[in-house]
Amino acid sequence: MERLPEMLGIKAGIAARYAAVLAAIGWDYIPAPAGTVSNLWLNAVRLASPAEREAFLRLTNAQGLMTRPIWRLMSGLPM
């Protein structure tokens, strides 16, 4: 557990790089809500249309970055 803060710092740096790259191409990276601390395991990108989503999925998966669309948010699933 002593490496946890170090690992979260590394993941935070990676998340910041994703956010910067996506902002540069006009895509909206969704950060953790204000007042929370994320483990940065799951990240989300909001795209403007289904066509843009498909282009993003093709591009990222072709580069070896495994991505998938959100099918149903966990908050919308039955208990």
pLDDT tens column, 20-46: 988 898 888 888 888 987 887 767 888
Q: Which amino acid belongs to residue 27? A: W
* Percentage of the chain exceeding pLDDT 70: 97
Residue 66 has pLDDT above 80, yes or no: yes
Whole-angstrom CA distances from 23 to 8, 29, 37, 79 are: 22, 7, 22, 35
The DSSP code for 63 is T
